Amino acid sequence: MLSQSTIDIVKSTAPLIAEAGPSLTAHFYERMFKHHPELKDVFNITHQETGSQREALFNAVYGYASNIDNIEVLLPVVEKIAQKHTSFNITADQYQIVGTHLLATIDELMNPGQAVLDAWAEAYGLLANIFINREEEIYQQKEQEIGGWRGTREFKVIEKTQESNVITSFVLTPVDGQPIIGYRPGQYIGVYLNSDKLEFQEIRQYSLSDAPNGNTYRISVKREDKGIASNYLHTHVNLGDSVQLAAPAGDFFITTESNTPIAFISAGVGLTPMLSMLESIKETHQAPIHWLHATDNSERHGFKARLNELTDSITHLNQYSWYKDGEADFNGLMDLSQIQNELNWQETDFYLCGPVVFMQYVAKQLVTLKVPEENIHYECFGPHKVL
């Protein structure tokens, strides 16, 4: 536990952290990469360039300083980050590197004095140990399960299927021919890409887009205009090629009982974890299932034929689509008032995935419809944000 003096000192620096803003974390990353360029093979450099990773780290640092006297409120975020870290195979030594450069950044930008630096060192050490211990638990759990492993494992592509004009699915099976660990529908898998066509190793997390089957994993990847990894996968990874995978991870998965109504709300490629959930409950869920999806147009509507098949075969599955252009159930942005009478809003569990602005827009509507906060579950692609 932290001493009261450490808690008081760290909490008192929260306003200074807020004043520094993401410039603090920008300085941190620049400093760390200068001393440890090998970490560019771990961190998503695109997120560095867009500023999203810097913003996420700033929010984490500020949140920790502000809640240093009530760490329990941070535990849900700790679990989310710990799950993500295991897909990067983060090590205890890397926490030491981060701590060194975080303290140096605080010293260089704020010059707060040794007492503050000592307090932050103690506070960071506590938080790092929480992460290290939780991540080690996850590593051991995955390693000990049937079909599990630690680190990365080689898989080869046995199917490559175009699901829309921007989404392609890859079905992967282990090269060693041994069993594979299962996963909870909604989770993701870490994909490691190494090639002379890439400046750095690229690690990405892609949602698993099918029900677990014990033999293969399927990911469905949207080709992003400036996406280094997604363009490489679409263009250069073909049948018979191999990639390295970390074991499935993630804290976003279906937990709804079969007698509770459920709604899957997605935009664009955000439908991938939802499809895994739907495929997993299609034969067992007894209450109404609602599938709400928004995308640009029919050509970008991934898995459209499969979803129509499921809708035709499951009597209690209702599907609604919103397109910006072209013919759909509704046009324009997703407006839940258009189906207000079709759902029991207060009794339904909602699962959201898509761009952050989309989820924020939908979450506000759900709050207006008096949906309890505990009934709203969501996943962000990339650095986590709070809706």
95 is catalytic: yes
φ, ψ (nearest 5 deg) of residue 344 = -90, 90
8 Å CB contact between 101 and 95: no
**Per-residue burial over 207-242, b = 16 or more CB atoms within 10 Å of its CB, e = otherwise:** bbbbbbeeebbbbbbbbeeebbbbebbbeebeeeee
Which residue among 29, 64, 124, 135 is the active-site one?
135
Residue 353, marked binder: no
Residue 380, marked binder: yes
Residue 22, marked binder: no
Residue 85, marked binder: yes
Closest by Cα among 22, 41, 133 to 78: 133
Question: What is the distance between the alpha carbons of residues 38 and 93, in angstroms, rounded to a whole number?
Answer: 13
Residue 62, marked binder: no
Residue 240, marked binder: no
Residue 269, marked binder: yes
Residue 273, marked binder: yes
8 Å CB contact between 278 and 264: yes
Q: What Cα–Cα distance (Å) separates residue 252 from each residue in 60, 61, 153, 208, 298? A: 19, 23, 23, 12, 28
Which residue among 29, 62, 95, 378 is the active-site one?
95
Residue 153, marked binder: no
Residue type (1 letter), 199 = E
**Residue linked to tokens 């941070």:** 74
Question: What is the distance between the alpha carbons of residues 161 and 227, in angstroms, rounded to a whole number?
Answer: 19
8 Å CB contact between 206 and 189: yes
- HSE at residue 270, side-chain half, CA atoms within 13 A, is 26
Point out the annotated binding site for heme b.
85
Point out the annotated binding site for NADP(+).
268-273
Point out the annotated binding site.
85, 188, 204-207, 268-273, 380-383
Cite the active site residues.
Answer: 95, 135
Point out the annotated binding site for FAD.
188, 204-207, 380-383
